[in-house]
Structures are given as structure tokens and as C-alpha cells.
Structure 1
Amino acid sequence: MKRKKHVVLFIALMLVFSSFLAACGKKESGGGQEEEKPTELVFGRGGDSTSLDPAETTEGEAFKVTENIYEKLINFKEQSTELEPGLATDWEVSDDGLTYTFQLRQGVKFHDGTDFNAEAVVFNFNRWIEGNQGKSGDEIPFPYFQSQFGDNIESVTATGEYEVQFKLKRPQAVFLKNLAMSPFAIASPAAIQKYGDKFNENPVGTGPYKFVEWKRNDRIVLEKFDDYWDSGYPKIDRIIFRCIPDNSARLNALKTGEVDLIDGVNYTDVKQIESDSNLQLIPRPSLNVAYVGLTVTRGPLKNQKVRQALNHAVDKEAIIQSFYEGYAEPAKNPMPPVVAGYNDEIQDYEFDLEKAKQLLAEAGYPNGFEIKLWAMPVPRPYMPDGRKVAEAIKSNWEKIGVKTEIVSMEWGTYLEKLAAGEADAFMLGWTGDNGDADNFLYVLLDKDNVGTNNYTYYSNDELHEILIQAQTESDENKRNELYKKAQEIIKEDAPWIPLVHSEPLLAARKDLVNFKPHPTGSDRLHMVEFSK
């Protein structure tokens, strides 16, 4: 009997000791015990990535992931487009603006264990330069490289193990800002050679997270890179990017704890989020434009007056009130007002159906015509619901005799067909990559970029000369005047219907901290964590 009492006492003591150990492994709040601090972040988003090789794509869902796998020579600062060191710790520019010399960060490893050095930088740039040579239009494998650099890089040379030198054919005012853009991240040469055409499914960079898994249209899984050069980061062990196409379903997943962070918040859901003590609303600094592209090589859209008429037949204020709840402003130019060189003197095409009918008659279409309007299949920061906005536009176009059929398709196919010029009118948008006017006007509307980012196939020689001159001009005031002139030309030619500049919204669980959404839409998540 005495022995049994000893056993019971021993078990009781062990239970007490176990409880003590368990308590030590938990965080406390308000005197109570909670579960252990989460080490996994689930990011709910509206669409899947098209590629995990950032150099071969132009869409934000790809960069949302790759920004955490790879790194660039230069970074943008937190929530701005000012520059700071990345894989390059310092750089010098020659007096003539043609030579850039970079000192590289030492002791950096790619996820496959190979070394980052000057030869790796040379390999990546030569891959982009040589890959684009002899290609045009939608055949260009690295479209962003074409848009931002064209053929202006004469050479890239390793001048030391950790020093690399770029020589340009002509000065380029935005060269450094371009290098900080997501597409120009440095990938492992060994991995590119190993995986070949499948590298876009097997990404290897130097970033805080390494690639683990990609289940198409479901999830992409990244895990902490233990040998990351920046000590103490990342804070979260694992990130899962979940595809939940419907905005409301995505919010419900956040409310039930299925995900921790979401983008593409419906503006109609703002009050619901703000009234929930377990959630927080997070605005992204605005640097975007949503637009309807009018492919100038197709049918009636070849006529400038037809394009102007369609501009007059879009009620932007009604769209903002119906779908943005006031979290947007009407767009009259292809770039937002926060960008230097914005032309505020331009008068927008007012909503005027009678004026639109008059222009159609002058263009030879008094009874209108038929057109297909492509609606975006995924929510984007600048376009919360492409289908509904398309229906609003269709309603007004049909009042001027333009019979409109709304079509859509899978996101990757949508972009491929746009690049091939297969759409009549289409809905799209752009979140600026570097905060410069060049990244909107030249990239999206210059003839050099037809079939890459210029989906309207718009070409104007006068505009081209102005934009190239602006690229080489070092005087900011002169650059701004050139961009203002460029916007006047674009407004008159009307290859676009600029719709809105939106304030994108995200939401997260209340205890998520240090998430600072970037105006470019490409978020680095290495500092994000959950509060204690």
C-alpha cells in the first residue's frame, strides 16, 4: 500500500514538472497562456504566379513570390522608391554617365550552396542580353529587360571577384532604379544550367527564403534559408502563398484563421474589417493605374476618333463609387500624380455620350460597331473586380451603339494573347516598378515595347524621340517637361482609356507586425513576424 502511494506521488510530481516545462515553451499575454508563437505565414492572394523566373514575366503575382527568393544588386527603401544597397554594397558612376562600377557583398550563398560573386552577375545579364537578341514582339523571352534596357548595355564585366562593371551605349537616367526592379534579381548560374527551360519551376536565388513546392493554382511554399547573409532574418520559418480567387472567400479565410494576410480586399468590406478586433486593415502606398487598352491595329480601333469616342463613353466617377468605395481617383494620364513629370494641365475626356456619338459618326460609324472587351480574370490592386467594371463599361458603350461582348480566360493565357495583339479592347493595369515616369510611359506605350508591355501595339515616332531623349537627360526639370509633352501626345492619340489610380488595401490578423507593403507591389517579407 505504501509503495502504491509513492508511485502516485511520483506521477503527480512528473505531471507538475511537465506542466512547468510546457509553460516555459509558451508565450504569455495578460496573465494567461497561449499557443506557441507561429512560425508560418499564409498569404492569401487572388491568382497564381505565371513563372518563378522573374526575368521572363511581367506580372505582379510572380514578383510577389520571387521578391523573397531572389535579391537584386540594389534595393528600394522601405515603402519608397529611394535606393539602398542590396547585393551590391556600393557603386560609382563615371562623369559621362556611361560606366557603372559595383562593389558586391561578400560571403553570400545561393540556396544551392554555390557562391554569389561578380561572375554570377555577368552570367545573369549575359543570359538576358543574348536571350533577347534577334527576337521581337511577343517572342522576346525576357520582356522586362527589353522594356527597361533595350540594347543599351554594351558590356558587363567582372573586374574582380566581387566587382562588376557595366558600360552603356548612352546615358540612362533611370539605370540604377531599373536595377532595383524585381525582374533583375540574380539567380544561381548553376541552377539555370541544371534546370534549363524548367528553371521557372525550380527557382534558386540568394534571398531569405528558398523554394520548396508549387502546386499550380493552389499554393507556393517557401522555407527559411538558414545560410542567409543578413543575420537574424527572416523572422518567419515558412511562407505559403495560397490562391483564393474570390475576394470575399479570401476574407472569410482570414477571419477563420485559414490565412494570416490577404490582398485584394473588396472596398465594400472595409467597415467589416475595421470592426473586427482580430483583424487589421493595411493600405498600400499608391503607385498604379488601371486602364482599358485599345489595340490600335484592330478594326475600328485603328481610327483615332473611335478611340476618343470610347474614352468619352466611360463614366469613371460611377466606377469609383460603385467598385472602389471612394478609395480611388479618376485617371486622366497613364501614370499617377505622385510620379515626377505628371502633367496636371491635361483635361480628361469628360463623360459625354453625345460627344462620343458625334465622334463615331465623324469616324464613319454612325450606327456603331461590334467589339470584344476582355475582362481581367483575377483581382489586382488596381482592379478589384474586372468583370463587374467591364459590365459597367459595356452598359455605356452600348448606349452609343457599340455592341460589346465581354470575354475572359485564365490569367496566363490572358497575358499571352494580349502580348500577341489578339484583343480588341482589354482591361489591365500597372503598378509602377521604380517610381519613374519612364517606367509608365516608355515601358507601356513606346514602340520599342510593342508585344512586351505595350499591349495596344501603339506606335508614335514623335513620342519615341521624346521618351528616348528623356532617358538620356540628367536635368530633372528638363526630363519632367519632356514627359509632360509625351502625355499630351498620348492623350490626343488615345490608345488607352485611363480609368483610376487606386489605394490598394490588404488585411491581416491583428498580431502580424512589421509588414510594410511596398508601393511597387513587390513585398519583402523577411522582417514580418507575429507579436508576442
Structure 2
Amino acid sequence: MLDAPGPWGTGPFKLVQGYSSIKNVQSVIRKTPYSSTWFTIEEERSPLVVLEANEQYWNKKKRPRLKNVIFRNDLTVEQALDLCMNREGEVDIVSKITPEMAQLVRGSRYAKLVNDGGNRIIAGTFNRYLDDIDFNNRKLRLAINLAVNRNELINQAFYGYAEPLSALTPSWAFDYPEGLKPIDYHPSLARQLLKEAQWPNDRALRIAAPKKLGKVVNLLASQLKEALKIDVSVKLILPNEELRWKRVVAEKRLVPNWDILIADPYALFYEGTPAYFHRELLGADGALRAGPILPEFEQLFKEMGSEIDKNELLEKAEDVDRYVYDEALALFLFAPHALYAVNKHVDFKPYRTSLELLDTEVNEHHWSRP
């Protein structure tokens, strides 16, 4: 939230005009011990948010290279992309562009594509609360993971702008377990394990997801239907329904009416990664956990959380990810890249955890230079 004079965030810049604020609502996950989560229901921003370099920034060796930064909130992503690609002096950086947009940027006269590791993953949480299907059975969870062709999914849904997940830690994170590989696509073994897990012959696999992930989920459903030889249904959650669905999962008072929920949680840093992805999907205070608390997971997670030595922390974070992998506790899909359209005369150095401009600078050919 930026609603008063700065400096804000990392401190290199201070707010001099405009505001950016959000409104959240709270959902209680459990009362004893107390834990809750917050969902954003409204984002309010002034048309322009202007930052200027903070000359009193404490780190004199790492001062911002830009004098001013203007965030334009008066444009849609499509409008901003058009100005960045086809004109100069209007928009220099467009964040959160889609893979489809990235294809267009490659042919632009004025813009280039910047492609970096992102701060979110796309994965599925299994509904372990169900009575008729036992997702506490590892064979069933593994069967569904074996039925996914991740590389094909990435190429068709994201034009290759993603990395397959081995478990829940992206390969570019500091605590990615060395040697861990994505689960192979193996339809015949998947069908064998599905049979051993006693999947009912007349039962459809029910997948739910926000509408923004519709392309991914429909392709995933086709893969699962073909590999497992079962019916697969898809429920896309409309934006005006998302809050209600999120609260049902987070508050854990009702049994959701889906088998797998596809979600895209995000992280704010890349060490101790399970504090974001693994906790959110599986932890005792995870808003996306859909099943009883997992004691073995909680023990490993607490050991990681109590570690103060960085190297030990990274090792224990790897232990969490390996355990989640070995138990196939989630449906592991992929980690999308962060994609930006950037003016060709801007040296943009993205941060993987947030939009930071501390290290960004422009060359002598930039339109702002005399």
C-alpha cells in the first residue's frame, strides 16, 4: 500500500504523487492455535503514482539509477503494451504480460522481451476431505501426477514460458533440491496405480480453477482423460465467485465439491521457499490446504522454520520439498516465467519476488536523454 509520502518498500525511492491501496477481508483458518489469511477484494490506485530517487537512502553504494519513476494506472495492459511496442516516450516497461503478448513483443521495433524466473507456481491441491475418494492414498496422488505431460502443457498453454515443477520449489530457487527431477509422463503406470487405488469406474475426476487458468486446466483435463481413461469435468470459477470459493477452502468448515483445485500461489523470496508454496497448499495454516493436518509435513516444516543458520535453513527447506515429492502430496505442474515488455534502451534488471527498479537504468539513446 502506498497512500502517504515515502520512502516505501526497499527505500531507494519515495512517493511524491498519487496513491496505491488495497482492501482485504480476513478468513479464520483455525481458532486454536489461531491462524488466518487475508484476501484482497479491492485495489484502488490513482491514475499516476510518481516516485523519485531517495537521496538519503542508507546504502550509498546502491543508489537508484533513475531520477523518477511513473506508474501509469490509467491504461489497460493491452493499451500499455501497444504504446511500449509502437511508440517511444509513453511506456517503457509493461509487467505481467501474457505468453500470447510475449509473442508479439518479439517483433516490435521499440520493445524487447525480458524473460525471468517468476514468483509463482501453478499446482493442484487434492481434496483429502472426501468420503467417496481417498486422496490420502499416495498411489492415487501419484497416478494423477504420472498422467500429466508437463512439457506439452507448458508448450501449448504457455508457449514454453515456464519450467516444469519437480515438487513445489521452482528450479531457480536457492533451496531447490539438487538432482530432483519432474515426475515422468507414464500413462500405463498411472492407470495401473489408479486401479490399485480403487477409483470407481463411473466416477468423473472433478477439477476446479479460477477462470484465468482456464486454458491450462482444459488442456490438463484432456491429458488426464486420455491417460487415465476416465471422465474429467472442469469447473472454472468466475472472478465474482473467487472470494467465496477461497473462503470455503481457507475456513475448512465445508467439504469442497471438487477433487483437485488448481491454484497459483506466489512467494516473496527464494530461500525458505516452503514458507510460501508448501505451507499454503499443505500446512496447518495454509489457505489452500484441503484435508486434515499432515503431522510428518508439520514436523519437517517446523524444523525448517526454527533454523537460524542460512545453510541449514536451505537444507531443511530441501528436506520439505523432497518429502512432498516422495509422497506426491500435490499435483505438480509448472512455474511460469515472469514476462516484461521493455523499451530497447532500458536496461531492466527484474527482481524475482516483486517489481523493483533499483538496478534499472537507461542508456544514452533513451528518449529521456537530451
Compute the TM-score of the two structures, normalised by the length of structure 1: 0.53
Pick the structure with more helix per residue. 1
Instruction: Tell me the distance in 2 between the aligned counterparts of 1:335 and 1:365.
Output: 29
Instruction: Tell me the distance in 2 between the aligned counterparts of 1:141 and 1:412.
Output: 25
Deviation readout 1:244-299 (Å, 9 max, x if unpaired): 5xx7x875565456965433444455454233222221223444422122222235
**Counterpart residue identity of residue 410, structure 1:** L
Distance of aligned partners of 1:514 and 1:425 in 2 relative to their CA distance in 1, 3 Å threshold: same
Instruction: Tell me the distance in 1 between the aligned counterparts of 2:96 and 2:9.
Output: 28
2:368 alignment counterpart:
531
Instruction: Tell me the distance in 2 between the aligned counterparts of 1:502 and 1:201.
Output: 24
Could you tell me whether the CA contact under 8 Å between 1:320 and 1:328 is conserved in 2?
Answer: yes
- Say which one has the larger Rg: 1
How far apart are 1:519 and its partner, in Å?
0.5
Distance of aligned partners of 1:323 and 1:227 in 2 relative to their CA distance in 1, 3 Å threshold: closer
- Please say if 1:505 is aligned against 2:332: no
Instruction: Tell me the distance in 1 between the aligned counterparts of 2:238 and 2:356.
Output: 24
Instruction: Tell me the distance in 2 between the aligned counterparts of 1:69 and 1:497.
Output: 42
Distance of aligned partners of 1:442 and 1:268 in 2 relative to their CA distance in 1, 3 Å threshold: closer
Aligned-pair Cα RMSD in Å: 4.3
Q: Please state whether the residue corresponding to 1:406 is helix, strand or coil.
A: strand
How far apart are 1:506 and its partner, in Å?
1.2
Instruction: Tell me the distance in 1 between the aligned counterparts of 2:4 and 2:236.
Output: 31
1:143 alignment counterpart:
37
How is 1:443-462 mapped onto 2 (pairs within 5 angstroms)?
Answer: 443-450=279-286, 452=287, 454-457=288-291, 459-462=293-296
Aligned residues: 338
Could you tell me whether the CA contact under 8 Å between 2:119 and 2:338 is conserved in 1?
Answer: no
**Counterpart residue identity of residue 283, structure 2:** K
Instruction: Tell me the distance in 1 between the aligned counterparts of 2:127 and 2:190.
Output: 18
How is 1:68-217 mapped onto 2 (pairs within 5 angstroms)?
Answer: 75=10, 135-137=28-30, 143=37, 211-212=45-46
Instruction: Tell me the distance in 1 between the aligned counterparts of 2:324 and 2:134.
Output: 15
Distance of aligned partners of 1:229 and 1:144 in 2 relative to their CA distance in 1, 3 Å threshold: farther
Distance of aligned partners of 1:281 and 1:242 in 2 relative to their CA distance in 1, 3 Å threshold: same
**Counterpart residue identity of residue 267, structure 2:** G
Instruction: Tell me the distance in 1 between the aligned counterparts of 2:52 and 2:7.
Output: 19
Could you tell me whether the CA contact under 8 Å between 2:175 and 2:317 is conserved in 1?
Answer: yes
Instruction: Tell me the distance in 2 between the aligned counterparts of 1:68 and 1:275.
Output: 38
Indicate which of 170, 182, 198 corresponds to 1:364: 198
Instruction: Tell me the distance in 2 between the aligned counterparts of 1:368 and 1:528.
Output: 60
Could you tell me whether the CA contact under 8 Å between 1:288 and 1:335 is conserved in 2?
Answer: no
- Please say if 1:394 is aligned against 2:221: yes
How far apart are 1:69 and its partner, in Å?
7.2
Instruction: Tell me the distance in 2 between the aligned counterparts of 1:469 and 1:86.
Output: 35
Distance of aligned partners of 1:424 and 1:243 in 2 relative to their CA distance in 1, 3 Å threshold: farther
2:234 alignment counterpart:
406
1:432 alignment counterpart:
267
Q: Please state whether the residue corresponding to 1:462 is helix, strand or coil.
A: helix
Deviation readout 1:8-41 (Å, 9 max, x if unpaired): xxxxxxxxxxxxxxxxxxxxxxxxxxxxxxxxxx
Q: Percent identity?
A: 16
How far apart are 1:396 and its partner, in Å?
1.9
Instruction: Tell me the distance in 2 between the aligned counterparts of 1:276 and 1:226.
Output: 29
**Counterpart residue identity of residue 342, structure 1:** Y
Instruction: Tell me the distance in 1 between the aligned counterparts of 2:123 and 2:267.
Output: 14
Deviation readout 1:320-370 (Å, 9 max, x if unpaired): 222333333221120112333322344543211111111121111152621
Structure 1 alignment gaps of length 5 or more: 1-65, 76-84, 88-107, 113-127, 146-182, 184-197, 203-210, 213-220, 379-385
Could you tell me whether the CA contact under 8 Å between 1:67 and 1:524 is conserved in 2?
Answer: no
Could you tell me whether the CA contact under 8 Å between 1:288 and 1:430 is conserved in 2?
Answer: yes
2:125 alignment counterpart:
293
2:252 alignment counterpart:
none
Could you tell me whether the CA contact under 8 Å between 1:456 and 1:495 is conserved in 2?
Answer: no
How far apart are 1:226 and its partner, in Å?
8.7
Structure number with the bigger relative contact order (C-alpha 8 A, sep ≥ 6) is 2
How is 1:340-351 mapped onto 2 (pairs within 5 angstroms)?
Answer: 340-351=174-185
Could you tell me whether the CA contact under 8 Å between 2:4 and 2:15 is conserved in 1?
Answer: no
1:382 alignment counterpart:
none
Indicate which of 109, 115, 125 corresponds to 1:283: 115
**Counterpart residue identity of residue 230, structure 2:** V
**Counterpart residue identity of residue 472, structure 1:** S
Deviation readout 1:70-122 (Å, 9 max, x if unpaired): 979873xxxxxxxxx679xxxxxxxxxxxxxxxxxxxx99989xxxxxxxxxx
How far apart are 1:459 and its partner, in Å?
2.6
**Counterpart residue identity of residue 105, structure 2:** I
- Please say if 1:274 is aligned against 2:109: no
Could you tell me whether the CA contact under 8 Å between 1:235 and 1:526 is conserved in 2?
Answer: no
Instruction: Tell me the distance in 1 between the aligned counterparts of 2:73 and 2:285.
Output: 34
Could you tell me whether the CA contact under 8 Å between 2:113 and 2:341 is conserved in 1?
Answer: yes
Deviation readout 1:470-517 (Å, 9 max, x if unpaired): 111123343333223322331243332121233221113445x36443
Instruction: Tell me the distance in 2 between the aligned counterparts of 1:360 and 1:222.
Output: 54
Deviation readout 1:185-228 (Å, 9 max, x if unpaired): xxxxxxxxxxxxx9x666xxxxxxxx53xxxxxxxx23337998
1:333 alignment counterpart:
167
Distance of aligned partners of 1:435 and 1:415 in 2 relative to their CA distance in 1, 3 Å threshold: farther
Could you tell me whether the CA contact under 8 Å between 1:300 and 1:306 is conserved in 2?
Answer: no
- Please say if 1:417 is aligned against 2:252: no
Could you tell me whether the CA contact under 8 Å between 1:280 and 1:509 is conserved in 2?
Answer: yes
Distance of aligned partners of 1:72 and 1:495 in 2 relative to their CA distance in 1, 3 Å threshold: farther
Instruction: Tell me the distance in 1 between the aligned counterparts of 2:36 and 2:67.
Output: 29
Instruction: Tell me the distance in 2 between the aligned counterparts of 1:297 and 1:403.
Output: 21
Distance of aligned partners of 1:309 and 1:250 in 2 relative to their CA distance in 1, 3 Å threshold: farther
Structure 2 alignment gaps of length 5 or more: 19-23, 58-63, 250-255
Distance of aligned partners of 1:253 and 1:315 in 2 relative to their CA distance in 1, 3 Å threshold: farther
- Greater Cα shift, 353-362 or 257-266: 257-266
2:152 alignment counterpart:
318
Could you tell me whether the CA contact under 8 Å between 1:446 and 1:458 is conserved in 2?
Answer: no
**Counterpart residue identity of residue 49, structure 2:** E
Q: Please state whether the residue corresponding to 2:195 is helix, strand or coil.
A: helix
**Counterpart residue identity of residue 223, structure 2:** N
Distance of aligned partners of 1:413 and 1:262 in 2 relative to their CA distance in 1, 3 Å threshold: farther
